[in-house]
Structure 1
Amino acid sequence: MNPRKLTKAGVAAAAALALSFSVAGCGDDGGGGGSGGDNEKITVGIKFDQPGIGLKTPDGTYTGFDVDVATYVAKELGHDPGDIEWKEAKSADRETMLQRGDVDFIAASYSINDERAEKVDFAGPYLLAHQDVLIRADDNSITKPSDLNNKKLCSVTGSTSAQNIKTKVAPDAQLQEYGGYSECLTGLENGVIDALTTDDSILAGYAAQEEFKGKFKLGGFKLSNENYGIGVQKGSELKAQINTALEKMVADGSWEQAVKKNFGPAGYKNEPPPKIGEIVG
């Protein structure tokens, strides 16, 4: 046998072996936004300041319904809780965070609407919320939306919730804009404010906090439909994978457990889990 030919054969074999290692290495890299394997990091956007929904506690842990949903979904994608890197997803930043690839997905009281769906894709919906009001537990003067006329109605600066009520159901409501929901709650507790409005899930989350138990109640007015979805990058394969995870979460009872755990103390009467892909108008 020609020694030169043997050398060429050896070189070819070595190159093929190196290529196989290279391909295998690529396959092990979960990257950002893939379904991932064990011990790969996944980055998830949540709210840090909404008790019952998404809250970063003083000791650095994270609690809330969206946190429980996101943790379950991440597990179904192959990630342990310790693999999750939580990032704050403020309302105004959510689409940009997904478009830039700052996060793999966002679960942050993220209502699905046409404008947002032009920029990102949504898995879900996984919760049907409604705009509602929170009032003092002993206040029997507000039993229907029109009772908000001449009442001091609070919402956070920049929110459309209070304006919706004034425009559609109670034109004489006296709007009060505060910097945050906690300020509205303090005003409500002290009698300076008569009602606080935003999504019922958010209101229930606040009312369920230990310091507020028994002090407030939801009006149950259902002034709008808010379909909460999990945002992903446009065209991401994660959408289908997350939908599968959400369906499993409902089927095995974990969804109902998360609802009761995070909203139950406020007497929140949640809707049944929505069907994946069906938006309630």
Structure 2
Amino acid sequence: MWCVDSAFARVVAVACLGLTGCTAATASVSGKDALVVGVKADQPGLGLLEKGTYRGFEVDVGTHIARRMGAKRVTFRTVTSADRERLLNDHSVDLVLASYSITPDRAKAVTFGGPYYVAHQDIMVRRGEEGIQNVRDLAGRRLCQASGSVSTERVVIGLGIRPRLVPSPSYSECVRKLLGGDVDAVSTGDLVLAGFAARYRDRVKIVNAPFTDERYGVGLRSGDVDGCEKVNRALTVMYQDGTAARLLRKWFGASELSLTTSVPEFEGCS
């Protein structure tokens, strides 16, 4: 007896506790007629909400995946770095594509498909800044710390570098602080930085000194192996038929970032 995921299923799941042989299972997003995809609303190039419409690379990739999985209707909902796991696991969204780096800790809470892109953590500074050439130069400088992101941890804990951290709710706010002179640098995946760099190309620049890999994954509810496998099949087709290369050029071609257009090595879905 399967306990499926719905309001009825939650009642059944309670009943299952008293029945021998009844096992609760994660219902798959695979085959659903309608899917809700969680994306960022404030990251140019990746996910940006303007005039009521979501636009960006992750929006287009989310649409491609959902259609390949059989969804007839795809809608989008804003997520942040701080609430991605919660919105997935309380069924507010079915998939998350939101510069969601795959990490061992996050993989305990959700199942990851992909990655759909392997970015590299880099640094963005104001044009004219010559004192920050690489990650070591962040020591003692004002580095923006976006809520819910692991990028700052990679600098402080992973590399033992000690910048002056300036907390901020999001990377869009970090960029505003950079433009306003309130921080000296923003450091995260280069694909995130590229979207902002393309928008503010006369005012900011990417240092182009990458120091980590950022494997951007598709978040699914924990245990959804079938959904994960279908996500990976959809991503394989996306790269093989040239869709990924076209979308990467569309959204990041103006950033001068060197883009990777080969199929990434996927995480396991088990």
Q: Which TM-score applies when normalising by structure 2?
A: 0.78
Shift of the 32–43 alpha-carbon distance from structure 1 to 2, 3 Å rule, reads farther
Shift of the 89–193 alpha-carbon distance from structure 1 to 2, 3 Å rule, reads closer
Compute the displacement of 1:112 (Å): 1.4
CA contact (8 A) 2:220 2:228 kept: yes
1:76 to 68, 74, 79: 68
1:143 to 126, 133, 138: 133
**Largest Rg, 1 or 2:** 1
Shift of the 187–232 alpha-carbon distance from structure 1 to 2, 3 Å rule, reads closer
Count of aligned pairs: 241
Paired residue for 1:47? 40
CA contact (8 A) 1:144 1:221 kept: yes
Paired residue for 1:228? 216
Shift of the 170–241 alpha-carbon distance from structure 1 to 2, 3 Å rule, reads closer
1:266 to 255, 258, 262: 255
Compute the displacement of 1:169 (Å): 5.0
User: 1:277 and 2:266 equivalent?
Assistant: yes
CA contact (8 A) 1:247 1:276 kept: no
Please tell me the residue identity of whatever aligns with 1:78.
Answer: G
Q: Give structure 1 stretches of 5+ with no counterpart.
A: 1-30
1:179-194 equivalences in 2 (<5 Å): 179-194=169-184
CA contact (8 A) 2:117 2:264 kept: no
Compute the displacement of 1:184 (Å): 2.9
1:250 to 239, 259, 262: 239
Paired residue for 2:5? none
Compute the displacement of 1:277 (Å): 1.9
User: 1:109 and 2:99 equivalent?
Assistant: yes
Deviation larger for 121-130 or 181-190: 181-190
CA contact (8 A) 1:32 1:104 kept: no
Which structure's residues are more often strand, by fraction? 2
Q: Which TM-score applies when normalising by structure 1?
A: 0.75
Shift of the 96–153 alpha-carbon distance from structure 1 to 2, 3 Å rule, reads closer
Please tell me the residue identity of whatever aligns with 1:118.
Answer: K
Identity %: 35
Measure, in 2, the Cα distance between the counterparts of 1:122 and 1:225. Answer: 16
User: 1:62 and 2:62 equivalent?
Assistant: no
User: SS at 2:58's partner residue?
Assistant: helix
Measure, in 2, the Cα distance between the counterparts of 1:167 and 1:123. Answer: 27
* Alignment root-mean-square deviation, CA: 2.5
CA contact (8 A) 1:131 1:199 kept: yes
Which structure's residues are more often helix, by fraction? 1
CA contact (8 A) 1:207 1:266 kept: yes
Shift of the 60–149 alpha-carbon distance from structure 1 to 2, 3 Å rule, reads same
